Amino acid sequence: MDYTKLMDFTGKTVLVSGASRGIGEQIVRGFAANGAKVIVSSRDQDACEAVAASIRKAGGDAVAKAAHAGHMEAVNALFDWIDAEFGGLDVLVNCGGTNPFFGLIGDTPEAAFDKTIDVNLKGPFYMSSRAVKQMQKRGGGAIVNVASINGIRPGNLQGIYSMTKAAMINMTHAFAREYGKDGIRVNAICPGFIATKMTSVFQQNDELMDKITSAFPIPRVGQPEDMVAGVMYLASDAAGFTTGTTLVMDGGYTTGGGM
């Protein structure tokens, strides 16, 4: 085995949803830096194009294609376009997500429930369903789902979000079990507290942040960049015998550290 090529994605087509900012943006930049042809996707075409343009300026191969992961017509149009343009897909990273409601789970409004299910679960499910069909034709591929430690241990006042992330972990296991024979590996990462727009409300409170991070074994807030290597490992030849697993990347929070 040529160990120098384990994280080489040259010739691979990689789709990252939720790639216009935060964790998804850093993931798509990581793949591009390692030779992949990347598809930058989120709901906003202009935001996707800004990321894709900066990747191209740095010498990478990137194209922007907006799609709302919670709308099936958008998902189908995206994968039809990928099939026509690139002949299929080698790697899918489901990174798009939303958390529209903070409060007691029993008070969750129906609109927030539906939005969270659509974006965090329905979208990744059908994107994965389309991706495996294309990967079967190519003789294999890899899917990496960006779940959350809240899928392992429900976050306080984040019940519906936590439920969808738990379902995403189970979905990862189901796809891995059923498509491994086709050379398709399906894994997930579980980020902890990461500095993104979703956690910005907490980051504005210095006292709260000190309380949170001081209890972590690695006593700091995670950065989107911290997630990149884990995703790339799971999508790469280095993880050729790894499927159906969940990589926790939380600074040690789930060891018992935390609030």
Mean pLDDT of 19-35: 97
Res. 105: pLDDT tops 90? yes
How does residue 210 score in pLDDT terms, banded at 50, 70 and 90?
confident
* pLDDT for res 109: 97
Mean pLDDT for the chain overall: 93
Name which residue leads in pLDDT, 162 or 258. Answer: 162
**Residue 63: both structure tokens together:** 């194209």
Please report the domains of the chain, with CATH numbers, ordered by start residue. Answer: 3-255 (3.40.50.720)
Mean pLDDT along residues 189-205: 74
Q: 110-128, pLDDT tens digit by residue?
A: 999 999 999 999 999 999 9
Q: What's the pLDDT tens digit per position in 1-10?
A: 778 788 999 9
Pairwise CA distance, residues 100 & 82, whole Å:
30
Residues identified as active-site: 161
- Dihedrals phi, psi of 114, to nearest 5 degrees: -65, -45
Q: For a pLDDT cut of 90, what percent of the chain falls above it?
A: 80
- Answer whether residue 259 shows pLDDT above 50: no
Rounded distance, CA 18 to CA 226, Å?
A: 17
**Residues 246 and 169 sit within 8 Å (Cβ to Cβ):** yes
The answer to whether 120 and 161 have CB atoms below 8 angstroms apart is yes
Distance of CA 143 to the CA centre of its chain: 9
Q: According to the model, what pLDDT value does residue 204 have?
A: 61
Q: Give the start-end residues of each E strand in 20-79.
A: 37-41, 61-64
Average pLDDT over residues 35-64: 98
CA angle 153, 159, 162 (to 5 degrees): 50
Confidence of residue 195 (pLDDT cuts 50, 70, 90): confident
